[in-house]
Amino acid sequence: MTTFPLLQLPLLAMENVLCMLSPFELIDVSLTSSRAKKVIKNFSRTKETFPVSFSNGQHSILFQQGRTTWSYGFEKISHIAYIHPFNTIMMLYQTTQIMKFSEEPLKDIMKWFDYAREVLNCKINSVTLDLGCCTNENMQTIDWIAEQSNTLDYLTILNDGQDSDDDLKYLMERINVLKSLQLMVQHYKDEFRMEIPGKPNRLLIGNSKFVDYDQLLRLKSPVIILRKSILTNEEINRFLRSWMSCETHLELKAFEINISGPEAMNEIMDLPHEKTNDPEIVWAFKEYLMVGYVDNEMYTIKRCDGKKRATVTVWYRTQWSLYMVVH
Ligand SMILES: *[C@@H]1O[C@H](CO)[C@@H](O)[C@H](O)[C@H]1NC(C)=O
Ligand SMILES: *[C@@H]1O[C@H](CO)[C@@H](O)[C@H](O)[C@H]1NC(C)=O
């Protein structure tokens, strides 16, 4: 094998070579000597940082640059297929994946990324966190993320198993989400209550049984999606009235909440409204709330300052829900 004197190249030539290397290759080069590590760190500092996703369930870190992704992970099973970079192309995304065997996959991926972020000058901006682990492990993971930064752009929280209420509260206290918070935890204790801090652009709560009417009034996100809600028709009617009177949710763009069925609209829409069939509004439902098709009545309501209108309809996805877009 011939060696390539990368570090002896003139700066410009060296940078041209480094620009062609993947994050994994940059890490490999940085590991060859302390001088190489300095060079890579210096090079990364001048480059735009790329989005990084972390999943504790898969013990993996994913770097993304346009349509190219690099994923590094650890698994506890010993017959792992790709210790060497493994390439796939799917849906126009090119992915390079490295998966290694580890007795302690979570600990190892954290250690690996601690080094990677030091040399590549990058930070995690998207996390999928499964709280189905034991409390001890959840806490360690939350602390590890929060020590890097107390804000994330995207956070999805999962747990299909037993409640992890205290861990969830701890997470919400330590991390603020800016763009999208998806709380997909299925079970809470009966008396569970929790505030959602900050104002993620999009807030989806998969089981919103802890969100009562007063808390809904406190939610500031422009897009709010409440599944498995406990709100009654009368409360949903009050929520719409409060929006119409400019009392709350001045920044609201879209809202979704489950209801019993189309007949619930008689009670919910017991307020001043007009019916519409404007195709642009149909489009807005698709864009904000991914409503597949609008085949029920659309009702338009007005805000008292005359600046905004909103249109409401019902649709069946996995349960009947009311959908509202502001325009
Ligand atoms: C760091 O990068 C800058 C700009 O690319 C360069 O001028 C400088 O010589 C580099 N320093 C080291 C230690 O490589
Ligand atoms: C919303 O869903 C939850 C859970 O499935 C259910 O208990 C509740 O009654 C539904 N809300 C309405 C208004 O039907």
Report CA(322)–ligand 2 centroid distance (Å): 12
pLDDT higher than threshold 90 for residue 293? no
**pLDDT score of 145:** 98
Token pair, residue 8, equals 């002896």
Query: Coil, helix or strand for 55?
Result: strand
State whether the beta carbon of 40 lies less than 6 angstroms from ligand 1: no
CA of 322, nearest ligand number: 2
The conformation of residue 35, written as its DSSP 8-state character, comes to: H
Report CA(227)–ligand 2 centroid distance (Å): 8
153-167 average pLDDT score:
95
**At residue 31, what is the residue type?**
L
Q: Which residues of 223-243 are buried (b: 16+ CB within 10 A; e: fewer)?
A: bbbbbebebebebbbbbbeeb
CA of 44, nearest ligand number: 1
pLDDT in tens, 215-241: 999 999 999 999 999 999 999 999 999
Token pair, residue 73, equals 């992970």
CA of 34, nearest ligand number: 1
State whether the beta carbon of 229 lies less than 6 angstroms from ligand 2: yes
Answer yes or no: are the C-beta atoms of 321 and 252 closer than 8 Å: no
Q: What are the beta bridge partners of residue 73?
A: 60, 99
Which atom of ligand 2 lies closest to the CA of 261?
14
Percent of the chain residues topping a pLDDT of 70: 98
Q: What is the dihedral of CA 279, 326, 199, 156, to 10 degrees?
A: -30
The conformation of residue 305, written as its DSSP 8-state character, comes to: T
State whether the beta carbon of 96 lies less than 6 angstroms from ligand 2: no
Q: Output the residue whose Cα is nearest ligand 1's atom 3.
A: 42
Report how far residue 72's alpha carbon sits from residue 122's, in angstroms, rounded to the nearest whole number: 15
Collect all residues with Cβ–Cβ distance below 8 Å to 299 and sequence separation of at least 6.
265, 269, 273, 274, 275, 276, 311, 312, 313
- What integer best gives the mean pLDDT of the chain? 93
State whether the beta carbon of 226 lies less than 6 angstroms from ligand 2: no
Query: Coil, helix or strand for 183?
Result: strand
The conformation of residue 190, written as its DSSP 8-state character, comes to: T
Report how far residue 263's alpha carbon sits from residue 270's, in angstroms, rounded to the nearest whole number: 12
Place of tokens 């991914």: 290
CA 130 to chain centre: 13
Report CA(37)–ligand 2 centroid distance (Å): 56
- Closest by CA to 56, choosing from 147, 165, 140, is 140
Token pair, residue 261, equals 């069925």
State whether the beta carbon of 42 lies less than 6 angstroms from ligand 1: yes
Token pair, residue 164, equals 């992890």
pLDDT in tens, 104-132: 999 999 999 999 999 999 999 999 999 99
Helix (H) and strand (E) counts in the chain: 10, 15
State whether the beta carbon of 228 lies less than 6 angstroms from ligand 2: yes
Window from 129-138, 167-176, 183-192, 281-290 with minimum mean pLDDT: 281-290
Sign of CA pseudo-dihedral 56, 60, 66, 68: negative
Q: What are the beta bridge partners of residue 159?
A: 185
Answer yes or no: are the C-beta atoms of 276 and 292 closer than 8 Å: no
Query: Coil, helix or strand for 62?
Result: strand
Report CA(96)–ligand 1 centroid distance (Å): 29
State whether the beta carbon of 98 lies less than 6 angstroms from ligand 2: no
State whether the beta carbon of 38 lies less than 6 angstroms from ligand 1: yes
pLDDT in tens, 71-102: 999 998 766 656 677 777 777 788 899 999 99
265 pLDDT band (50/70/90 cuts)? Answer: very high
Q: Output the residue whose Cα is nearest ligand 2's atom 14.
A: 260
Where residue 323 falls (left for φ over 0; alpha for ψ -120 to 50; beta otherwise) is beta
The conformation of residue 318, written as its DSSP 8-state character, comes to: S
Collect all residues with Cβ–Cβ distance below 8 Å to 26 and sequence separation of at least 6.
18, 40, 43, 44, 119, 120
Mutation choice for ligand 2 from 228, 256, 257, CB with most ligand atoms inside 8 A:
228
Answer yes or no: are the C-beta atoms of 108 and 62 closer than 8 Å: no
Q: Output the residue whose Cα is nearest ligand 1's atom 1.
A: 42
Report CA(48)–ligand 1 centroid distance (Å): 16
Token pair, residue 234, equals 């009368």
